[in-house]
């Protein structure tokens, strides 16, 4: 079995195919860390590159993301110790009052593809939930998404809550979503802004000095 097969299944978004391939890899004793680090992660990075070039679109990215996640779900029980590289932990969520999920989900997958350990809090996440998760998980990065102009102010309230809790200085804070701009990100005290999912992963790496 060759890692190129995992790469191809992710690019095609072939969820059923990659599940069968992953079960086969586990049964044959293939190195789980090698599958993830040399198979799945480079494949999602390639998906991001193709999206930025205009050669893939959001539905195709979602298919690839689901394929990668399906494979990871099978592999995770077989991960031993620190054999899988990690760029750091990320707490991710769509802010309070906003129920949009697709963009945030894609960001999470692209961050996983960049080697981050992602903790997705879901949608309609309150400032208090972000604070509690940061205290519990000690992430390097907090990512916030909003798709509505009416929910954008919740990003600022969340940053203020992180400051008041005394954990803001230890974090890189990234924001994004259709109505969010670099100027808005700067005005609320975020460290960075990204226009799309591949850009979010790249920006997180840049701000942490990993690129």
CA distance 11 to 62: 11
Question: What span, in angstroms and rounded, lies between the C-alpha atoms of 5 and 30?
Answer: 13
Q: Is residue 80's pLDDT more than 90?
A: no
pLDDT at position 154 is 98
- Nearest Cα to 84, choosing from 75, 97, 95, 92? 75
Percent of the chain with pLDDT over 90: 79
d(CA 211, CA 10): 24
81, pLDDT greater than 60: no
Q: What is the pLDDT of residues 166-184, one digit of tens each?
A: 999 999 999 999 999 999 9
The residues near 166 (Cβ < 8 Å, ≥ 6 apart) are none
């Amino acid at each position: 079995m060759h890692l190129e097969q995992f790469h191809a299944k992710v690019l095609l978004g072939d969820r059923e195919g990659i599940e069968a391939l992953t079960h086969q890899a586990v049964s044959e004793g293939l190195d789980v860390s090698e599958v993830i680090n040399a198979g799945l992660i480079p494949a999602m990075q390639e998906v991001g590159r193709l999206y930025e070039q205009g050669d893939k679109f959001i539905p195709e990215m979602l298919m690839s993301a689901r394929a990668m996640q399906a494979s990871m779900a099978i592999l995770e029980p077989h991960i031993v110790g620190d054999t899988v590289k990690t760029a750091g932990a990320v707490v991710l969520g769509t802010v309070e009052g906003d129920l949009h999920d697709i963009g945030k989900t894609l960001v999470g997958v692209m961050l996983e593809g960049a080697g981050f350990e992602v903790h997705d809090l879901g949608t309609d996440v309150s400032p208090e939930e972000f604070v509690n998760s940061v205290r519990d998980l000690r992430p390097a990065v907090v990512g916030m998404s909003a798709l509505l102009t009416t929910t954008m102010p919740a990003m600022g309230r969340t940053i203020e809550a992180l400051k008041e809790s005394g954990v803001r200085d230890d974090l890189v804070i990234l924001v994004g979503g259709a109505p969010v701009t670099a100027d808005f990100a700067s005005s609320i005290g975020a460290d960075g802004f990204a226009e799309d999912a591949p850009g979010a992963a790249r920006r997180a790496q840049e701000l942490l000095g990993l690129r």
